[in-house]
């Protein structure tokens, strides 16, 4: 047990709520694990764009002598090569959330399910809106995962007679969502529901609706499981009837399992998909983390 | 004079064209609600851009305003949450929050201004540096997440964004006042005159008994206070601040200033042109949301084209030769 | 009587180079004191020290017998010491009125635009200057800018007024206006310091003369003690004879034929010819369109009309085109259009002829050789070769500009104000240089506001008035009266007189 | 001279300090692997920054380079995937891809340059517009996702980034060549001299028979070709292009230029200063990864402080007066 291990953790920087939560969980987990296992060291790097993330991983390999890497790829394609290089150097690789574009590189895969994320929300819409109902969508930053979510959502409501009026980019940002929603409200006299696809955006949307005085007209479904939204669901707020999880805490599981691989003999490799669950007033309490910044 | 009138009317013409276009595309475009929305949203960037007009006119530049806004919002929220137990919810709390915002804005800008005027470092570098510093600090204070104003306090503070008098909301009123005062300051006060003189030729200004460093410092400080003011109106809107608050506001503010006809090299500032520039930028976004485009992916492209066209309208070949 | 302002053993060094070596002299109220000396002698430096814009390395400035309390130009101005700088000191983006009042705008909180415009107008009227107070400085001709500069200084109610070559860019008539103002100020007890390279002005104006050579005072004299020749000799340190070369008498064929040439909106329908080996002088008032004509001829302005070069019709759209046809132009505005003030002598000298200094790579040694030659040919006095041109004395800048214009070996040179700010000794050298060019088969057009220069140099004189050719004089017909009459617009008599 | 040597040595001193710091922090800092990594990744911004030096020196600005790189990468990948069936995997395919990259870069830059020099619109506005346009187009073509080079083709193309000769990888070699040629062009050719003259005073340049518009156009075109070259080396590294490719490269490139001592107002360009600037920026990132900081949230703040310090080292109060 004298051997020390270094684990690199490379994630996107905290540019929006979800990533902020993920950053918080990563740091929190690292702090906790470092206290438990004195012989494990962690190297955390955050990147604002794919190129920088590749730089970070290169640096970890070249200067920090990492034994394992936990990576949440900014984008799948550009990170595939560099992560493969880590693997080829004989290191342990854990991939989180966004799969690499080439199968079989990672030892461990921990992820949320973007298709399920869109699908669960879509199914809720299908089941709770009459045919002919009108909805608007706020999309995230243009990325593959955003496409997956929206496609899954649209597939889920396909044939239900629900009409999608519009889908603009709110960039997972409260301010942008506020603006887009204001303009939706000017443009469409009747909106029955909003899929905001992210809890940060949901907050911006709610504000715009409140300002327009149309609070009773429509409900909103966000996503990811931000504590404020979960709280509302828990309290039975009619405006936010449900939420769909996409837990930022998945990074904790990934880091923990990777650490376990080094400090114990436990077999941890494989794929762990953390499904997206519908948070309802009944089950909300189990998704509520008041200490997290997200 | 001939030249002036052309370049003065240019941005206005672009603005009018956009309004006409918006009206065609969507009947609700001219509704009171939409107009209020657009104007109120423009107010933040607007106030900042008015301040930026002075900085650019006197030959400076400030890239840090967006992150400064985030930083001020963060500090303001922290301060208000901290003072809540003592002051209780009410006007004193809000006033204290506002004082903090203006104070932090002033200090942050003073840091920029002193590094630029006393240490003599290029404004681009100084404000690029502080841009990173301010934004990092917010993210750090917020622990990567969002700083939120206490719910009750926010409910009390909310009318500062959404409320108003005579059916005009506060952000619009404050923006209008700032714009008018800015125009006055630029055209009719020594400060504005000195900004133009310094931007035109700082040695001449120095030889003519203008306190060049002091005026330059004042432009940065004024900008900082305006960023503080913008933040005061921004915080009640969503009640939160995070690392992504005010992202790219600097670019938008500078773009508004240049679209409005102020020269990037300094020497010539037009505050009301800046106001028109801000409105043009807001309207582009609004119209893109109201219209049904082929693909929202192309929003950026259309924005780009309109920005360039707005300026083409204003400056033809002829005036390019003149300058 | 205590002098209003005095220097006491003033030394000044720029870096390791000392340019003033212990200067003593005094300005008295109600007196015009002239400071003369060769280019680079240190006149402007003295004036900047007096005005608080430079601090002396050692020695003292005394204001009313006390050590001067000011440490900047602004403070000096507050103490009543006002300087008209040799280089323009106007913000190009501001209007005339804005510049005249820069730093002392009237109005409590809001500026009093009307008062500024009114008082500016009054100042301009006093100077017979017809520039609008709302005109932007950038759009003004050099001479107009100089008048604005004078107006700006007059507006500042000086008790000591220091003028660094105010007349260099002015025409005869404007100089007279300026002199009237100087007389008025002298009568009202202002102490005046004046420099000029036009020695007749100095003789006419100065109550007291200080002659400077290489940074030291070599002679002080009272009115009437020095003739113009005496001044020139004291300045240069040797006798000067034959300032102007003898007239040339044989000319070659026509090399340039200008027909119905217009440069809107000023120049209308100008026609003339130029022969090989000829010096054509162009005279006229400020704003008569001489500069615009010249700039049109070298393709810097849009123009109409025909140009024939040795019989071939040519069209010019840029100075590069002009250069290809052997035309070169020396601008009257050396600070804004002629020289890159923050670049070295070498870079300025070769800018328009870089193609000759190496195909792919510029040859530094070749450039240096050219600079060495230029420094010799044009007697450019510079403390260091690698200095920024902006730090050269005004006259030496002008010499460098001349060298730059002549570097491409043009066949036809148009020189707008060739000797602006150049000392009498060098002036003579330049006149002989122009003469040599003409004798070597070049053709030279000299645009000048300096009457003796036009008279002494030209084989033919073209006089312009309000954008048109008012008349042409040749050979013995070129007399001061004839030219002045044409300039003023009494054409018939002038030709009759001749 | 004194002034010059101070400001020449400044950025170099900052660079050396950073290297010393890095060596202290981590023993592997000076390892061949790390040095290769840092240099190779500097190469993209580096080449762009060298081109940007000329643009800025002649008084221009280009905000579009980052999105231009994304656009070029997208077009290059599209073209290579399309030509794959015809050309097969091999050198011709890679050469064809490179030609497309250079060609697209040239055309994109020509669009910028012509709008600026012929239509006479401020460079800031033109390139702000095309920045939006290029990036939107990539996002649109990629349908919001990522454009990927065919896997086999990429394997073949990969050595262009990772391979090299004499143990030096291609990006480093190409960057070195570009830097040396750039320095030569700036110091010893007419083009460089004209750039400085135009930036110093474009009217004087025009009066001195310099073809001002043509030279300015050439600076933009050269920059575009260099962006194309950078993309050629970038694509084999990441094998894909998306809306976030090259994000904020423009800011980094401009910052490198200014840190290197080139004046933002033009008139004075220093290519090797730019190279030092680029290295400083890369090293900051590298060192942040070498050390364990309090919090990664503060990275931006530390970056900001170092950038400002690097320039403080270089320009004290004294030289600020000199200008
Ligand atoms: N800032 C400076 N740095 C270095 N040398 C300077 C500076 N200013 C002036 N000089 C030098 O000082 C000397 C005196 O210059 P000054 O301008 O006083 O001459 P001047 O007598 O006014 O000449 P002119 O008749 O040509 O105007 C010149 O050699 C000049 O090059
Ligand atoms: N009639 C006019 N209307 C308007 N502007 C005029 C007119 N005449 C001259 N100007 C302007 O006055 C300025 C002087 O013209 P220009 O420089 O050609 O005259 P000049 O004879 O060379 O005088 P200077 O001695 O000042 O060089 C120019 O800027 C020109 O545009
Ligand atoms: Mg002088
Ligand atoms: Mg003239």
Interchain proximity D296–A54, CB inside 8 Å: no
Chain D hits for A63, CB-CB cut-off 8 Å, are: 26, 28-29, 31, 33-34, 289-290
D269: nearest Cα among D175, D188, D171? D188
D302: nearest Cα among D21, D41, D46? D21
Are the CB atoms for D199 and D38 separated by under 8 Å?
A: no
Which of C171, C266, C487 has most ligand 2 atoms within 8 Å of CB, for mutation?
Answer: C266
Question: Residue A2's pLDDT is what?
Answer: 64
> Which residue has the CA at smallest separation from atom 2 of ligand 2?
C266
Per-residue confidence at B323, pLDDT binned at 50, 70, 90?
Answer: very low
Per-residue confidence at B8, pLDDT binned at 50, 70, 90?
Answer: low
Interchain proximity D189–C362, CB inside 8 Å: yes
For ligand 2, is residue C332 a contact (CB within 6 Å)? yes
Of A52, A59, A64, the CB nearest to D37: A59
Per-residue confidence at D323, pLDDT binned at 50, 70, 90?
Answer: very low
Are the CB atoms for C397 and C334 separated by under 8 Å?
A: yes
Interchain proximity D296–A76, CB inside 8 Å: no
What angle is formed at CA D187 by the lines to CA D185 and CA D191, rounded to 5 degrees?
A: 45
Quote the minimal CA–CA distance from B29 to chain C in Å. 39
Chain C hits for B267, CB-CB cut-off 8 Å, are: 91-93
Are the CB atoms for D62 and D55 separated by under 8 Å?
A: yes
pLDDT digits 0-9 by tens, D228-269: 999 999 998 888 888 888 888 999 999 999 989 898 889 989
Chain B hits for A289, CB-CB cut-off 8 Å, are: none
**C263 Cα: distance to centroid of ligand 4 (angstroms):** 14
For ligand 2, is residue C462 a contact (CB within 6 Å)? no
What's the whole-number average pLDDT of chain D? 88
Question: Residue C246's pLDDT is what?
Answer: 86
> Residue C6's beta-bridge partner residues?
C26, C62
pLDDT digits 0-9 by tens, C99-149: 999 988 888 888 899 999 999 999 999 888 889 999 999 888 888 888 999
**Chains A+C touching (3+ CB pairs under 8 Å):** no
Per-residue confidence at D6, pLDDT binned at 50, 70, 90?
Answer: low
Identify the three-state secondary structure at position C396.
Answer: helix
Identify the three-state secondary structure at position D20.
Answer: helix
- DSSP for B126-164 reads HHHHHHHHHHHHHHHHTTTSEEE--HHHHHHHTHHHH-E
Chains adjacent to B (≥3 CB pairs closer than 8 angstroms): A, C, D
Residue D192 above 90 pLDDT? yes
> Which residue has the CA at smallest separation from atom 15 of ligand 2?
C287
**A9 Cα: distance to centroid of ligand 1 (angstroms):** 64
Q: Which two tokens stand for residue B97?
A: 């929050």
B302: nearest Cα among A184, A147, D140, D115? D140
Interface B-D: count of C-beta contacts within 8 A: 149
Q: Mutate one of B180, B191, B193, B203 to test the C interface: name it (highest C CB count within 10 A).
A: B193
pLDDT digits 0-9 by tens, B265-284: 889 899 999 999 999 999 98
Per-residue confidence at B1, pLDDT binned at 50, 70, 90?
Answer: very low
Q: Which two tokens stand for residue D180?
A: 């040396």
pLDDT digits 0-9 by tens, B247-267: 889 989 999 999 898 988 889
Chains adjacent to C (≥3 CB pairs closer than 8 angstroms): B, D
- DSSP for C331-352 reads -S-IIIII--TTSBHHHHHHGG
Of D44, D143, D289, the CB nearest to A59: D289
Nearest chain B residue to D141 by CA: give it.
B297
Q: Does D41 touch chain A (CB under 8 A)?
A: yes
pTM as predicted? 0.90
Residue D316 above 80 pLDDT? no
Cβ neighbours of residue D240 closer than 8 Å, sequence gap 6 or more: A75, A77, A78, D73, D77, D146, D147, D148, D149
Are the CB atoms for C9 and C60 separated by under 8 Å?
A: yes
Interchain proximity C104–B188, CB inside 8 Å: no
pLDDT digits 0-9 by tens, B212-251: 999 999 999 999 999 999 999 999 988 888 888 888 899 8
Cβ neighbours of residue A50 closer than 8 Å, sequence gap 6 or more: A73, A74, A75, A78, A79, D238, D242, D244, D245
Q: Does B60 touch chain C (CB under 8 A)?
A: no
Which atom of ligand 2 sits closest to the CA of residue C267?
18
Q: Does B207 touch chain C (CB under 8 A)?
A: yes
Q: Which two tokens stand for residue A117?
A: 């994320």
Interchain proximity D129–B297, CB inside 8 Å: no
Question: Residue B145's pLDDT is what?
Answer: 79
Are the CB atoms for D105 and D228 separated by under 8 Å?
A: yes
Interchain proximity B41–A179, CB inside 8 Å: yes
Average pLDDT (B78-105) is 92
> Residue A135's beta-bridge partner residues?
A164, A193
Percent of chain B with pLDDT over 70: 94
Q: How far apart are CA B75 and CA B159, in angstroms?
A: 20
Residue B321 above 50 pLDDT? no
What angle is formed at CA B48 by the lines to CA B42 and CA B54, rounded to 5 degrees?
A: 130
Are the CB atoms for B281 and B13 separated by under 8 Å?
A: no
Residue whose entry in the numeric block shows the structure tokens 């050219």:
C370
**B267 Cα: distance to centroid of ligand 1 (angstroms):** 29
For ligand 2, is residue C461 a contact (CB within 6 Å)? no
Give the residue with greater pLDDT, D49 vs D242: D49
Buried b (16+ CB within 10 A) or exposed e, C254-277: bbbbbeebbbeebbbebebbbbbb
Which atom of ligand 1 sits closest to the CA of residue C387?
4
Quote the minimal CA–CA distance from D253 to chain B in Å. 12
Of B1, B201, B209, the CB nearest to C91: B201
Crossing angle between the packed helical segments B32-57 and B190-200, to the nearest 10 degrees: 60
Quote the minimal CA–CA distance from B172 to chain D in Å. 27
Judged by phi (left if over 0) then psi (alpha if -120 to 50, else beta), residue D120 lies in left
If chain A, 294 residues long, is cut into consecutive pieces of 10 residues, what is the mean pLDDT of each piece? 83 82 87 90 86 88 88 87 89 88 86 89 92 92 85 91 90 88 89 91 91 90 87 89 87 89 82 87 84 70
Residue B317 above 60 pLDDT? no
Q: How far apart are CA C312 and CA C295, in angstroms?
A: 20
Which of C169, C392, C397, C422 has most ligand 1 atoms within 8 Å of CB, for mutation?
Answer: C392
Cβ neighbours of residue D301 closer than 8 Å, sequence gap 6 or more: B132, B133, B136, B137, B140
Interchain proximity D197–C322, CB inside 8 Å: no
* Distances B135 to A232, B74, B132, B250, B273 between C-alpha atoms, Å: 30, 10, 5, 13, 29
Per-residue confidence at B94, pLDDT binned at 50, 70, 90?
Answer: very high
Question: Residue C498's pLDDT is what?
Answer: 36
Chain C hits for B189, CB-CB cut-off 8 Å, are: 109-111
Are the CB atoms for B269 and B57 separated by under 8 Å?
A: yes
**D168-169 vs D164-165, strand pairing mode:** antiparallel
The sign of the CA dihedral A212, A215, A217, A218 is positive
Residue whose entry in the numeric block shows the structure tokens 């900052």:
D14
Q: Which two tokens stand for residue A86?
A: 């880590």
Chain B hits for A167, CB-CB cut-off 8 Å, are: 296
Q: In chain B, count of helices (H) and strands (E)?
A: 15, 4
* Distances B217 to B191, B204, C412 between C-alpha atoms, Å: 11, 18, 52
Could you tell me where the beta strands, DSSP code E, fall in C244-370?
254-263, 267-275, 279-284, 304-309, 312-314, 327-330
B residues 170-229 lying closer than 8 A (beta carbon) to D: none
**C74 Cα: distance to centroid of ligand 3 (angstroms):** 20
Q: Does D188 touch chain C (CB under 8 A)?
A: yes
Cβ neighbours of residue D163 closer than 8 Å, sequence gap 6 or more: D169, D170
Residue spans of alpha helices (H) in chain D:
2-25, 32-57, 65-87, 91-117, 123-141, 151-157, 159-162, 170-188, 190-200, 202-207, 212-238, 249-259, 271-290, 299-314, 317-322
Quote the minimal CA–CA distance from D44 to chain A in Å. 11
What angle is formed at CA C126 by the lines to CA C123 and CA C130, rounded to 5 degrees?
A: 80
Q: What is the DSSP letter of C247?
A: P
Chain B hits for C104, CB-CB cut-off 8 Å, are: 209
Average pLDDT (D21-27) is 86
Q: What residues sit around ligand 3, an ion, with C-beta below 5 angstroms?
A: C 43-44, 86, 393-394
Crossing angle between the packed helical segments D2-25 and D299-314, to the nearest 10 degrees: 150
Spans of chain C, pLDDT less than 70: 490-498
Residue D204 above 90 pLDDT? yes
For ligand 2, is residue C470 a contact (CB within 6 Å)? no
């Amino acid at each position: 047990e004298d051997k020390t291990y270094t684990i690199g953790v490379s994630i996107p920087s905290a540019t929006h709520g979800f990533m902020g939560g993920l950053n918080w969980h990563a740091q929190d987990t690292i702090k906790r694990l470092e206290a438990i296992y004195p012989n494990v060291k962690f190297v955390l790097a955050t990147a604002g764009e794919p190129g920088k993330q590749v730089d970070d991983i290169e640096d970890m390999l070249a200067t920090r002598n990492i034994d394992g890497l936990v990576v949440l790829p900014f984008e799948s394609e550009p990170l595939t090569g560099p992560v493969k290089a880590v693997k080829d150097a004989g290191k342990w690789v854990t991939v989180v959330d966004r799969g690499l574009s080439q199968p079989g590189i990672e030892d461990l895969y921990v992820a949320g399910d973007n298709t399920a994320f869109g699908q669960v929300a879509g199914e809720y819409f299908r089941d709770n809106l009459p045919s002919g109902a009108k909805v608007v969508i706020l999309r995230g930053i243009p990325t593959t995962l955003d496409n997956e979510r929206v496609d899954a959502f649209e597939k889920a409501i396909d044939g239900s007679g629900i009409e999608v009026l519009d889908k603009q980019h709110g960039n997972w940002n409260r301010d942008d969502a506020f603006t887009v929603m204001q303009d939706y409200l000017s443009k469409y006299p009747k909106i029955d529901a909003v899929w905001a696809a992210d809890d940060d955006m949901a907050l911006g949307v709610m504000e715009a609706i409140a300002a327009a005085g149309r609070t009773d007209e429509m409900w909103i479904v966000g996503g990811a499981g931000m504590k404020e939204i979960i709280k509302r669901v828990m309290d039975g707020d009619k405006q936010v009837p449900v939420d769909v999880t996409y837990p930022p805490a998945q990074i904790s599981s990934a880091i923990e399992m990777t650490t376990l691989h080094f400090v114990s003999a436990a077999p941890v490799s494989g794929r762990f998909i953390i499904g997206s669950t519908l948070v309802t007033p009944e089950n909300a309490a189990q998704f509520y983390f008041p200490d997290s910044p997200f | 004079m001939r030249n002036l009138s052309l370049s003065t009317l240019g941005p206005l013409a672009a603005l009018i064209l956009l309004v006409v276009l918006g009206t065609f595309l969507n009947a609700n475009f001219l509704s009171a609600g939409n107009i209020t929305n657009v104007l109120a949203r423009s107010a933040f960037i607007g106030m900042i851009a008015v301040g930026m007009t002075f900085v650019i006119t006197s030959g400076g530049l400030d890239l840090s305003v967006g992150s400064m806004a985030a930083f001020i919002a963060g500090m303001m929220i922290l301060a208000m949450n901290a003072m809540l137990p003592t002051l209780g919810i009410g006007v004193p709390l809000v006033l204290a929050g506002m004082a903090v915002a203006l104070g932090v804005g002033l200090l942050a800008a003073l840091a920029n201004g002193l590094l630029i005027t006393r240490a003599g470092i290029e404004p681009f570098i100084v404000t690029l540096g502080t841009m990173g510093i301010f934004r990092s600090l917010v993210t750090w204070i917020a622990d990567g997440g969002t700083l939120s104003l206490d719910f009750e306090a926010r409910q009390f503070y909310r009318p500062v964004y959404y409320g108003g008098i005579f059916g005009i909301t506060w952000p619009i009123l404050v923006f209008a006042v700032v714009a008018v005062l800015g125009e006055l300051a630029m055209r009719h006060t020594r400060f504005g005159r000195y900004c133009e003189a310094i931007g035109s030729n700082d040695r001449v200004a120095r030889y003519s008994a203008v306190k060049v460093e002091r005026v330059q410092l004042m432009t940065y400080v004024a900008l900082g206070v305006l960023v503080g003011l913008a933040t005061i109106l921004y915080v009640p809107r969503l009640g939160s601040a995070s690392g992504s608050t005010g992202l790219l506001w600097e670019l938008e503010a500078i773009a508004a200033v240049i679209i409005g006809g102020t020269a990037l090299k300094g020497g010539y500032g037009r505050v009301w042109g800046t106001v028109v520039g801000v409105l043009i930028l807001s309207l582009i976004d609004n119209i893109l949301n109201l219209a049904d485009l082929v693909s929202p992916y192309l929003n950026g492209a259309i924005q780009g084209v309109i920005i360039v066209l707005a300026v083409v309208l204003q400056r033809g070949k002829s005036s390019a030769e003149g300058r | 009587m205590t002098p209003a302002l005095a220097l006491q053993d003033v030394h000044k060094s720029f870096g390791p180079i000392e340019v003033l070596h212990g200067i003593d002299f005094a300005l008295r109220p109600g007196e015009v004191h002239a400071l003369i000396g060769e280019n680079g002698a240190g006149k402007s430096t003295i004036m900047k020290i007096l005005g608080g814009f430079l601090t002396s390395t050692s020695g003292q400035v005394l204001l009313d017998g006390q050590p001067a309390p000011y440490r900047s130009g602004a403070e000096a101005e507050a103490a009543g010491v006002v300087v008209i700088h040799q280089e323009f000191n106007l913000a190009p983006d501001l209007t005339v009125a804005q510049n005249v009042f820069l730093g002392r705008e009237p109005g409590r909180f809001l500026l009093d635009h009307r008062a500024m415009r009114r008082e500016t107008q009054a100042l301009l009227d006093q100077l017979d200057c017809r520039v609008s107070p709302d005109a932007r400085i950038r759009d003004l001709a050099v001479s107009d800018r100089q008048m604005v500069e004078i107006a700006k200084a007059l507006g500042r109610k000086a008790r000591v007024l220091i003028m660094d070559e105010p007349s260099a860019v002015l025409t005869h008539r404007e100089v007279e206006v300026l002199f009237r103002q100087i007389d008025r100020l002298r009568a009202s007890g202002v102490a005046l310091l004046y420099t000029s390279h036009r020695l007749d002005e100095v003789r006419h104006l100065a109550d007291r003369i200080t002659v400077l050579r290489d940074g030291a005072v070599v002679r002080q004299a009272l009115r009437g003690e020095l003739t113009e020749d005496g001044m020139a000799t004291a300045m240069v340190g040797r006798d000067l004879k034959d300032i102007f070369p003898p007239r040339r008498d044989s000319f070659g064929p026509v090399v340039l034929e200008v027909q119905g040439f217009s440069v809107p909106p000023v120049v209308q329908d100008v026609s003339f010819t130029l022969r090989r080996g000829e010096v054509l002088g162009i005279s006229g008032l400020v704003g008569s369109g001489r500069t615009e004509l010249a700039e049109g001829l070298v393709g810097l302005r849009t123009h109409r009309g025909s140009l024939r070069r040795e019989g071939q019709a040519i069209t010019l759209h840029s100075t590069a085109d002009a250069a290809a046809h052997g035309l070169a132009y020396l601008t009257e505005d050396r600070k804004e259009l002629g020289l890159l003030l923050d670049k070295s002598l070498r870079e300025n000298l070769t800018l328009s002829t870089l193609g000759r200094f190496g195909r792919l790579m510029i040859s530094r040694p070749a450039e240096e050789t050219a600079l060495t030659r230029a420094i010799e040919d044009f007697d450019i006095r510079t403390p260091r070769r690698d200095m920024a041109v902006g730090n050269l004395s005004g006259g030496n800048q002008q010499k460098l500009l001349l060298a730059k214009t002549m570097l491409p070996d043009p066949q036809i040179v148009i020189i707008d104000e060739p000797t602006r700010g150049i000392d009498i000794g060098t002036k003579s050298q330049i006149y002989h240089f122009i003469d040599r060019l003409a004798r070597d088969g070049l053709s030279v057009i000299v645009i000048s506001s300096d009457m003796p220069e036009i008279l002494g140099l030209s084989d033919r004189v073209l006089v312009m008035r309000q954008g048109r050719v008012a008349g042409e004089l040749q050979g013995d017909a070129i007399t001061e009266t004839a030219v002045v009459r044409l300039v003023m617009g009494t054409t018939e008599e002038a030709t009759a007189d001749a």
